[in-house]
A = this chain, B = another copy of it.
Amino acid sequence: MPVLDLQQLNDFLAEHFPQGEQYGALESVGPGTAVMRLAVSAQHLRPGGSVSGPAMMGLADVAVYAALLTRIGPVPLAVTSNLNINFLRKPLAGADLIADARMLKVGRMLGVGEVYLYSGADAARAGTDPVAHATLTYAIPQ
């Protein structure tokens, strides 16, 4: 069972990311996992209708952060130390983004996770090709 449930995590993120709706909303969590959805709107788009890189990176960051918090609890001071993202395909115009995140390691000092981003509101993730993949490292305050 995750240390924090979905409601607790949403409350925590709302408090610490008040502009959080621009990063997406949690849909589900498990032990070391989190699924978020970004309802793409004009602020996330580039000309031509493609979702901007920063919108994808923000979603990836918050999704893995949520996955980390399911393991270590509400630690507001955990900070991202590294993000590596590969942009794989152009997201569908007008479609939501789904982030599927899980921790690869939660140590005493560092947490490392990965996240797949999918395009499309009903992205049955199995069998769908991701639009981006990212790995992130968080430094956990002692």
Contact = CB atoms under 8 A, between A and B. Distances in A.
B87 A84 contact: no
Contacts of A110: 81, 139
Interface in A35-92: 43, 46-47, 52-55, 57-58, 61, 79-89
B82 A137 contact: yes
Interface residues of A, number: 40
A58 B57 CA distance: 9
Interface string A100-135: 000011000110101000000000000001100101
Given A83-B57, A83-B84, A87-B80, A109 B16 contact: no
Contacts of A46: 16-17
Nearest to A18: B47
B57 A53 contact: yes
Contact of A88 (B23, B47, B104): B104
A88 B109 contact: no
A108 to B, nearest CB: 8
Interface of A: 15-19, 23, 43, 46-47, 52-55, 57-58, 61, 79-89, 104-105, 109-110, 112, 114, 129-130, 133, 135, 137, 139, 142
